[in-house]
Amino acid sequence: MTTTIDLVSYEDALASYDPVMGLEVHVELGTRTKMFCGCSTELGAEPNSQTCPTCLGLPGALPVVNATGVESAIKIGLALNCEIAEWCRFARKNYFYPDMPKNFQTSQYDEPIAFNGYLDVQLEDGTSFRVEIERAHMEEDTGKSTHVGGATGRIHGASHSLLDYNRAGIPLIEIVTKPIEGAGERAPEVARAYVRELREVIRALGVSEARMEMGQMRCDVNLSLRPNGTEKFGTRSETKNVNSLRSVERAARFEIMRHAAVLNGGGTIIQETRHFHEDTGSTTSGRVKEEAEDYRYFPEPDLVPVAPSREWVEEIRAALPELPLARRNRLLAEWGISAVEMQAIINAAALDPIVATIDAGADAASARKWWMGELARSANESGTSLDELAITPAQVARVTELVSKGDLNDKLARQVIEGVLAGEGTPDEVVEKRGLKVVSDEGALTAAVEEAIAGNPGVADKIRGGKVAAAGALVGAVMKATRGQADAARVKELILEKLGVSEG
């Protein structure tokens, strides 16, 4: 595993070669039961407690298709602008593997339920890129093996393995792109943006939580290079089971640099599976198979064809929720912001919290301001994501409410948020405990204003003379005297009133 790999710099690679990618994403559906049996899919159960004759592959057991699994596949197909098959079948993909109980995977082969679609994705700078979808098909997950006796639970060097089949049979949708051409140097970025957009679509459809870190969504990155200006695809490598957005981008980037080095050196790329290593950002070759796989696909005789009626498909289409792209475009218009601003929100993963904050009663501008300002900064500093911050959208909404009621000013509001993030309680509790209420007692304020005028006669004269802008200095003095707890706008009003000047 320590063999060094020659790499060419990314820029040099792109100077000579044009990358072509194919992305295969497996999504575990969030159905209550498995694809072909009634076992629960609940996570965290004790080993082999969610198995039955069917998903254990016991002799005699038979599969029955989960209707919600099919419906979810159709939803995904429609969301990806695919055609939905009028008639399709399951097929058996035959190969032996210990974590696959029947030693064939029930999948779909040449008759996928959804095919010929596309997904428009947006890159960091707001540019749009269309990724063509080849197909989306239904299949089932495998069990899980734990390797014992070797280093760090790897297969390599293990003395034996332990198998848990709770995951075996959980529905998967495999989504395969057509070859992605023309992305050039932005190929890795396209890969990442595609997987992210796909994840958002899946989540919006409610068919899966699509949490990559939990293995609910996994991506295989197929990549090849061809000399710039040529048409014919080069030989591809298949980097398997990449499980974060960042890794998808890094894996593509690494493979571009590795392929270029091999090709520059006069070598040839071997068509092989490779494994991505999170720690080093590199890929290594999988076990070389002595013989090419021959999956001997044939129609699954234990299942009958799936022929979704057009009525059903249209019903599903009509009930589809608003999809992420449409939603972004709608919000962009509603909020009157630019595409670049929207992209910044997306990049910060702030869209959902902002919308949730608005839903909780805040106005759009304030919600954006807090999430993209104070909260983004805080998340950045602590190296977490926005949804991991210890504050809820409802709490942010409450802070904006206190501000708009005049109970807090921005400075105090920041302190309230800081308190909530620090675990001091709800916004109201923080206000209470820290004593952060805006001073609105007119008597106390009037006294502070009079004191400030008395202490700064020169400034007061300028204001009397019409230089309203000079009021800022007196406001500052009042704020200082009240330790920031006064409502600045009211202070300014009082000063002008006392000095007999009106604004504007």
Partner 1 sequence: MPGITREEVAHLARLARLELKPEELEHFAGQLDDIIGAVARVSEVADQDVPPTSHPLPLTNVMRADEVRPSLTPAQALSGAPAQEQQRFKVPQILGED
Partner 2 sequence: MTDIIKLGAADIAAKIASGELTAVEVTEAHLARIEAVDEKVHAFLHVDREGALAQARAVDEKKARGEKLGPLAGVPLALKDIFTTEGVPTTVGSKILEGWIPPYDATLTKRLKAADVVILGKTNMDEFAMGSSTENSAYGPTGNPWDLTKIPGGSGGGSSAALASFQAPLAIGTDTGGSIRQPAAVTGTVGVKPTYGAVSRYGMVAFSSSLDQGGPCARTVLDAALLHEVIAGHDPLDSTSIDTPVPPVVEAARNGSVEGMRVGVVKQFRGEGYQAGVIQRFDESVALLKDLGAEIVELDCPSFDLALSAYYLIAPSECSSNLARFDGLRYGLRTGDDGGHSAEEVTSLTREAGFGPEVKRRIMLGTYALSSGYYDAYYGSAQKVRTLITRDFEKAFEQVDVIVSPTTPTTAFAIGERADDPMAMYLADLCTIPTNLAGNAAMSLPCGLAPEDNLPVGLQIIAPALKDDRLYKVGAAVEAAFVERWGHPLLEEAPSL
Site residues (vs partner 2, CB under 8 A): 53, 56-65, 92, 94, 96, 98, 101-104, 159, 161, 163, 294, 296-298, 301-304
Binder of residue 55, out of Mg ion, partner 2, Zn ion, none (CB less than 5 to 8 A by kind): Zn ion
* Closest listed residue to residue 10, CA positions, set 244, 186, 271: 186
User: Cβ 36 to partner 2, closest distance in Å?
Assistant: 9
| Shortest reach from residue 272's CB to partner 1, in Å | 10
Q: Which residues lie across from 237 on neighbouring strands?
A: 223
47-55, 75-83, 247-255, 476-484 -> range binding partner 1 (CB under 8 A):
47-55
Residue 65 interacting with Zn ion (CB under 5 A): no
Separation of alpha carbons 140 and 33, rounded Å: 12
Residues in the chain: 504
Q: How far apart are CA 241 and CA 258, in angstroms?
A: 19
Residues 144-163 contacting partner 1, CB under 8 A? 145-149, 154-156, 158-163
Residue-wise over 193-202: b if at least 16 C-beta within 10 A, else e? bbbbbbbbbb
- The residue count for binding partner 1 (CB under 8 A) is 62
Report CA-CA distances (Å) from 82 to 85, 195, 196, 223, 317: 9, 17, 19, 24, 11
Site for partner 1 in 276-295 (CB under 8 A): 286-287, 291, 294
Among 29, 39, 202, 212, which residue interacts with Zn ion (rule: CB under 5 A)?
A: 39
The burial class, CB within 10 Å (0-12 / 13-18 / 19+), for 466 is exposed
Q: Whole-angstrom Cα distance, residue 225 to residue 39? A: 44
Distance CA 68, CA 171 (A): 10
Residue 306 contacts partner 1 per CB under 8 A = yes
Q: Work out how close the CB of 3 gets to partner 1 at its nearest, in angstroms, rounded to a whole number.
A: 14
Rounded Cα distance, 278 and 146, in Å: 20
Q: How far apart are CA 449 and CA 482, in angstroms?
A: 10
CA atoms within 13 A on the CB side of 123: 15
User: Looking at this protein, which amino acid is placed at residue 150?
Assistant: G
Among partner 2, Mg ion, partner 1, none, the one that 390 touches (CB under a kind-dependent 5 to 8 A) is: none
What is the closest distance, in whole angstroms, from the C-beta atom of residue 58 to partner 2 in the complex? 7
- Pick one of partner 2, partner 1, Mg ion, none as the site partner of residue 174 (Cβ within 5 to 8 A by kind): Mg ion
* 35 scored as a contact of Zn ion (CB under 5 A): no
User: What's the alpha-carbon Rg for the chain, to the nearest Å?
Assistant: 30
Please choose which of Mg ion, partner 1, partner 2, none residue 50 contacts, taking the beta carbon within 5 to 8 angstroms, the exact cut-off set by kind: partner 1
Q: Between 48 and 380, whose beta carbon lies closer to partner 1? A: 48
According to the binding rule CB under 5 A, does residue 55 interact with Zn ion? Answer: yes
* Owner of token pair 């602590």: 382
- Which of 37, 262, 459, 475 touches Zn ion by CB under 5 A? 37
146 binds, among Zn ion, partner 2, partner 1, none (CB under 5 to 8 A by kind): partner 1
Nearer to partner 1, 236 or 368 (CB): 236
For the bound state, the minimum distance from the C-beta of residue 4 to partner 1, rounded and expressed in Å, comes to 19
C-alpha dihedral (132, 136, 140, 141), degrees to nearest 10: 20
Which among partner 1, partner 2, Mg ion, none contacts residue 60 (Cβ within 5 to 8 A by kind)?
partner 2
Q: Which residue lies nearest Mg ion, judged by its C-beta?
A: 174
According to DSSP, the β-strands at 104-107 and 91-94 are antiparallel
CA 41, chain centre distance (Å): 22
CB of 268 to partner 2, least distance (A): 23
Residues found near Zn ion in the complex (CB under 5 A):
37, 39, 52, 54-55
Residues found near partner 1 in the complex (CB under 8 A):
31-33, 37-40, 46-53, 56, 58, 64-70, 87, 89, 96-98, 145-149, 154-156, 158-165, 240, 273, 275, 286-287, 291, 294, 296, 298-299, 301, 303-308
